[in-house]
Structure 1
Amino acid sequence: MQETRQPGARHAERAPTNTNRLDTHVGIDPHHHDDHQIAYAGSGVLSITTGSGTWVAPPTRALWIPAGTVHEHRAYGRTDLHCVGLPVRCNPLGLDAPAVIAVGPLLRELILEYTREPEDRGPARSRLLGVLLDRLRVSPLQPLHLPAPTDPRLAAVCALLHADPADPRGLAALGARAGAGERTLSRLFRAELGMTFPQWRTQLRLHHALRLLAVGTPVTAVAHRCGWSSASAFIDVFRRAFGHTPGAHPR
């Protein structure tokens, strides 16, 4: 699919219900919808970024994007994107901020079927949506949000690690580059990002790992490029985060 990019666009539109194929690294520039949206990558990996950070979803997860949220998409690997638009009055999760939702086999099939169904199916389509919403209500949220800093000192440290997730330096050494002490930065990580420095760095590395796996990078290379000491250490962290090994990760 050829994506039309509109640099800097922040147009509003109704959240579509459709299926599209995005090529690796294709992006959709900042925009927002008048409706809620569920975005699901049946293959590949999809991320959304807002002013509050980045959320990433492999095929075992979906993204909840509330109405009015300015966001941009990015695809990693050949990504089959399935979007479900929901009117503002229909908020099965009761959320007013983006989130990552666990997608089990039944919810996956419901999303795929609903986005394939013609909109003129009437009652049959309405019944399908009802079941889909029921499954969403009981789907657990997943901690796959990488929050964005606002303090310039914290932002400088985070930028260093975004540029090189394998950077082994501790917070004191990174802080020296940013002009801030370790204790100050440690406090800022908790206050602004809601997690410790090691937790944030692990989350960053997992985000990068998902993107590399989506484009076929070998597991050992992913472990090295994302900063794990060994492939086995990476596999252990990945399994605890996603419930399966990187080698079994769907693409």
Structure 2
Amino acid sequence: MYNNSQTLDWEPVAAPPDAKPPAPMTMRAQSLAARSYFPEHAHDWGQLVYAISGVLTVAIAGRSFVISPDQAVWLPAGVAHRVGSLAGAQFRSLWIAQDVSAGLPVEPIVHAVGPLLKALIVEIVDLQSDGDGYTGRVTQLILDQLRRAAPIPAALPWPRGEALAELCAALYADPADPRSAEQWARALGMSPRTLARRFETEVGICLRSWRRRMRLFKAVELLGGGMDVTGVALELGYGSPSAFIYAFRTEMGASPQAYMNGKSADY
């Protein structure tokens, strides 16, 4: 996803030197520039990785993926991880002490972020300890929401190896890139069969399926940013808006406009 390769130009971000353990919950808000990341580390407490805008990249042992503002990653205490952003994000890191984490998932999961949880995360960023118990009630509601979270397969998987990470980063930056798997294999100095085998091993799906999922992921991101259907279709490399609408409806069960209207109604 991101590593020490100068080709990928990822910039490390230092953790705040004054970071303190949560008691019982701490929310950190930070802007991440494009291609910046926190190097691998672990905490003695649980962490919810989330962005209110933009996308985040998350790497843990054996798994790497990209999440949108509709998704979050729960990391139990002790799980080594890296977090960064491909294109920039408004990052939110929710730290939760172990003594209040009973009932939370014991394994890392990706889960949906619904309207209530998103509102609570936004609300708690600026809250301080108070005398009337409001902060405590918001904290408890967040914990209740996280205990109800169920894993989802919606995150975009990402390869761990440098060569395939470079390929995916290029396609993510330019979804309309017309190069075939065979052309990419030549560019990476491997045979098409080797590329196919390595991609399925590292990512879990074939390159063609990944490109289709990536385009849908980008479509939701671009539509959410206010781009119209025609603009999104061109950005993603579809031959026409109707071709994009058909592909979107086939995968998502609704037209782009209906899908985004439904999301707006949720909020």
Check whether TM > 0.5: yes
Give the whole-Å Cα distance in 2 for the aligned partners of 1:211 and 1:120: 37
Alpha-carbon displacement from aligned partner over 1:181-230 (angstroms, at most 9, x marks no partner): 33332222222211122221123334444554465444322222223333
Q: Report SS of the residue matched to 2:55.
A: strand
Match of 2:194 among 184, 196, 203: 184
CA, structure 1 residues 228+140, in 2 after alignment: closer, same or farther (shift >3 Å)? farther
Confirm or deny: 8 A CA contact 1:57 1:100 kept in the other structure.
no
Q: Which runs of 5+ in 2 are unaligned?
A: 1-10
Match in the other structure for 1:9: 14
RMSD of Structure 2 on Structure 1 (CA): 4.0
Determine what percentage of the aligned residue pairs are the same residue.
Answer: 30
What is the aligned length?
241
Against the structure 1 CA distance between its residues 140 and 20, is the aligned structure 2 distance closer, same or farther, given a 3 Å change threshold? Answer: same
Equivalent positions of 1:125-140 (< 5 A) are: 125-140=135-150
Deviations 1:60-99 (A, max 9, x none): 33333444534233386884x54421124526542543x4
TM-score by length of 2: 0.67
Alignment map for 1:174-213 (pairs within 5 Å): 174-213=184-223
Instruction: Determine helix, strand or coil for the equivalent of 2:95.
Output: strand
Q: Residues 212 and 24 from structure 1, CA distance in 2 versus in 1: closer, same or farther, beyond 3 angstroms?
A: farther
Query: Which stretches in structure 1 are left out of the alignment for 5+ residues?
Result: 1-5
Which segment is superposed worse, 84-93 or 181-190?
Answer: 84-93
Q: What is the distance in 2 between the residues matched to 1:221 and 1:121?
A: 50
> Corresponding residue for 1:3?
none
Partners of 1:206 and 1:219 in 2: CA distance: 12
- In structure 2, the CA distance between the partners of 1:104 and 1:171, relative to structure 1 (3 Å rule), is same
Offset of residue 167 of structure 1 = 1.9
